[in-house]
A and B are shown apart, each in its own frame.
Chain A
Amino acid sequence: MFIGLEYVVSAYGIWVCTFAIYILLTKRRLKKTNQTVVALEQRASESYHNF
């Protein structure tokens, strides 16, 4: 009944792992760019007030 199970497991396994890693990396990238934008905006407004 389960002839070829290893192919099915590897296809589904690779698919799930790829998207899990891709989603994690994309979320991390979004968080980092978001933080950098906020920090830079803050620095820009601080230097404007100091000036």
Chain B
Amino acid sequence: MKDKTFIIILILVTLAGIGITTALAIHGYRLWQNISIVEMIANWR
């Protein structure tokens, strides 16, 4: 694999990873805002 190709793939993979992780964190934060402490404990095994 050429260095340039490798760097591009690495950047794309990193950007995709950051995007998915950020989306997951935002999704979790929104859920957290709407859940009661009681239900959270019920889910927490």
Q: Do A and B bind each other?
A: no
